Amino acid sequence: MESAPTRVMVAVNESTMKDHPHPSISSKRAFEWTLEKMVRSNTSDFKILLLHVQVVDEDGFDEVDSVYASPEDFREMRESNKAKGLHLLEFFVKRCHEIGVGCEAWVKKGDPKEVICQEVIRVRPDLLVVGSRGLGRFQKVFVGTVGAFCVKHAECPVITIKRNADETPSDPADD
């Protein structure tokens, strides 16, 4: 196939659970779904764009605007070992590298739902994939959902992937 690869943006975030380091269950699921159901064995026809939006009031973090495309790109980070958002990206970049699909990963600061929509305008992916906790209507009122906002406002096709039922933590608002 001669045409440009399909560029799939996957929004990833950290787990809310202390005993569950790095990716949230739902963003890991969204990422794995993309590989299993879309990319499949056709790794050369896809590029995965991994965006992590750090909420502003988290601890100081200066790695905004760097782009990471291979596991080696994280070497310096490991020495300083202070930027936990990069450990998150490293997890996903490593996985892309293992299966041989091209990727780019970066961090932005701000309100995740708004920054994701801004980045869609800037980067123009073919598709945005967002994980979802699959909460009921009542639960959503209190915790909000990034996916629902993006479905409504992002200027590209959006797919939300729910966690599998057997992955739901004891408090379903956790992720």
Closest CB to a second copy among residues 19, 36: 36
Q: Applying CB under 8 A, which of residues 50, 51, 96, 127 lies at the interface with a second copy?
A: 127
Identify which range of 29-37, 65-73, 74-82, 138-146 contacts a second copy by CB under 8 A: 29-37
Q: Rounded to an integer, what is the distance from CA 120 to the centroid of its chain?
A: 13
Closest CB to a second copy among residues 43, 66: 43
> Is 162 a binder of a second copy (CB under 8 A)?
yes
> Is 31 a binder of a second copy (CB under 8 A)?
no
> Is 159 a binder of a second copy (CB under 8 A)?
yes
HSE at residue 19, side-chain half, CA atoms within 13 A, is 2
Binding to a second copy, residues 4-23 (CB under 8 A): 6
Torsion, CA 74, CA 77, CA 83, CA 86, rounded to 10: 0
Q: Enumerate the β-bridge partners of residue 171.
A: none
Q: Applying CB under 8 A, which of residues 32, 114, 126, 167 lies at the interface with a second copy?
A: 126
Cα→Cα distances 106→8, 93, 100, 144, 171, Å: 14, 10, 19, 24, 30
Q: How many residues does the chain have?
A: 175
> Is 160 a binder of a second copy (CB under 8 A)?
yes
Residue type at 111? Answer: D
> Is 123 a binder of a second copy (CB under 8 A)?
no
**Residues 35, 21: Cα–Cα separation, whole Å:** 22
Residues that bind a second copy (CB under 8 A): 1, 3, 6, 33, 36-38, 40-42, 45, 126-127, 151, 157-162
